[in-house]
Amino acid sequence: MHLLGYILNRIFTEINNRGLRYFGVVWTQTFGTFSHPLNITWMSLTCTDSEERALAMAMVIMGANIAGIYGAQIFRSDDRPRYRRAFNVNIGVLAFGLLLAGIRFLDDRFRRKKAKDRLPESGSESEAYSDGVTKVAVPDEQPQPIALREPSTSLSKADV
């Protein structure tokens, strides 16, 4: 949707209708913010421990801050007021990111299928993840708790 917004903005720069151009900017800004929570959620779910999650979160924040640096280089003053070159660059960057996401999706499907094919058929319910880890169903029976000391029938002064 964000890519569509930049495509609309690039098309609308050639049309001399202020309301239409405003619609393009609102569309872009509306759908441009969805990626951050999705990226952070995905990162939180795929990190294995809190240290890895903290480092990954720092890298996401660092990347967002770096965007402000190169953003000033894309939307240059010699390209204003319509920013044709900037919209073309943004379309290219977003299209490349979409291509990488598609490759990642296909790779993940391939790895899941490969991991599923490697599992032996068994009667128990199990689930395979893309990293080769198998989650086996736990039986409903729970082990009995272990008593650490004998239960006393009467309370002493120390227990009260």
- Domain region containing 93: 2-116
154 inside domain: no
Most confident of 22-31, 82-91, 111-120, 142-151: 82-91
127 inside domain: no
pTM for the model? 0.60
**64 confidence band (pLDDT: 50, 70, 90):** confident
What separation, in Å, do the N-terminal and C-terminal C-alpha atoms of the chain show? 66
124 inside domain: no
36 inside domain: yes
Structural domain count of the chain = 1
Rounded Cα gap, residues 122 and 133, in angstroms: 16
130 inside domain: no
> Is residue 88 pLDDT above 90, yes or no?
yes
